[in-house]
Structure 1
Amino acid sequence: MAELASTLPATPPRFFPKSLTPWLLSAPGAIFFLMLLGMPLLMTLVLSFNNFDYAEGIIATFSLANYMEVVQDDYFHEIFFRTYVISIAVVVLCIAIGVPEAYILSRMRSPWRSLFLVVTLTPLLISVVVRTLGWVLLIGGNGLLGKTLEGLGIADASAGNLMYTHTGIILALVHVLVPFMVISVWAALQKLDPSVEHAALSLGASHTTVFRRVVVPQIMPGILSGSLIVFALAASAFATPAILGGRRIKVAATAAYDEYLNTMNWPLGASIAVILLIANVVVVMSYNRMMERRFRRTLG
């Protein structure tokens, strides 16, 4: 046996170079990702360069006419401007609600912490359409909000009708997306050392000062990641703006949907989708780089 073992190689032979091992291990996942996401995006990109004629349908040519129409038409300028104004408002409100909520949850004791965390994340278990229809029942013309205001004598029932308004869309999107902010900030708070807060309190700082000067700078990566997730989901949201905004308040996603199914102009709808994707990527990467530079500057 000893003689046989001495004849065996010390290390098993390699069939592939060592430098290719990570690529080969990640190849199945990469191929699966490209098939499910890359191919539809590539087909949408190719479609966006085609032309459309109401008599002939889609004409397989290479043209930038659809992109020029989106870039030059004030109608689409207003749609994209509205999309990003709503998205920014949703991000600000999610930060204002989600950060204190996550901080309070992290300071709770068991079992209340687990209970309220489940309650906070419960909206993620319900379909977006169902949640949005619930908001229709709440803020519609004959909704609960209007009836409550009328019953209390505060205002007429029509004052509670937030359907087809920017306010209604923003409120519903905040309700849908604030759990993502809570999750991101919660993950950052788990890495926070409580002794740092106790040291600041022992030196005479108030709880508000400790939260603003000690806690917030340390959980800034969680706030950054949460705001990026919320912004990307709000900018590309479809169901909530479509139900609560209708045809009065269009965003980029609903505009692309209308071009696909109402006017049947698939190339124009594809160009809107591609421009929305590119704009989201540019905004997210620019915001990420800006916040990283500021965070590094703060830490010296």
Structure 2
Amino acid sequence: MRIIQSEKPRPLDLLAVGPGGLVAASTFVFDAPGDVEVWDAGTGTRQCIHHIPDRETECIAFTSDGRFLFVGATAGITVIDLHSGGKTAVSRFAGSSPDFVLSAGGTRLVVVNQNNNNVECFAIGAGAHFSLVWSGQSDWREHYAPALNRDGTRAALVADTVYGGPGGRPSQHIQFYDAQGKFSGVIPLDPADPKAGFVFTADGMKLLVPTGSRTVQMFDATTGAAAGELVHPGRPYVTCIAVHPRGIVACARTNGTVTFWDAEKREPLRTFDWKAGKLVSVAFAPDGTLAAAGTEDGKVVVWDVDV
């Protein structure tokens, strides 16, 4: 286990673990420095920093080979070549305030343009090349918080009509898309209790949804039916969820702990407590050998995983 300190104390609620022991972190908290830092987890040495002046960072993700880091911010998506240090702003997303998710397998990227609510899915090829797979748009729904299953064949995101949908009534639900971008089911939500940060289980059969409490809800990713809950003891609430390739679910909490769960049995397996402070993020490497958790004051805890 190693604890890495950011040069700028801030909530590190954006976290990514890449191949080869790379860890990237930033924040989407308003008015906090959105700079993206990348470290070597083995030595704790910072490899690079991507400055985002006067901009909010939305999301970060490594490509499957660990060479590129995608950074989404108000200005668009920047692709950072971690070998050469080169940075490329993707013109297609300029000024779009994108919210994106990269599949754990690294083959698909779903991007939500938060300016026009357009949703697009791209295949990611060699050299971080983008190739459009499908596109969909709604004139009245606000889309955000995309999630992808491991191979990128199923997507989910929030469709929000808090400003008035059909009949002028606010509504919110999680909307599923299949591999061709067709709607494949919904999960109704309470618009007074917005959701984000949900993830698919490793087999893609269920969706895990944090509730802003100690409970994580589970839904069938095909029918949208409720499929159980992961209920933590005590009052501290779950701030982030990550899924290991072998199926273990990790939940970070405000009391500084990470609990591993058997999602099928809905049983806790092990709890880690490094006394590092409130945790606001958790993530696994693509092969599951390394995990990391970010704190609200700029620390990243990294540890080897044996499951």
Q: TM above 0.5, one fold?
A: no
TM-score, structure 2 as length reference: 0.21
TM-score, structure 1 as length reference: 0.21
Q: Which has the larger radius of gyration?
A: 1
Q: Name the structure, 1 or 2, with higher relative contact order (CA <8 Å, separation 6+).
A: 1
Structure ranking higher in helix proportion: 1
Structure ranking higher in strand proportion: 2
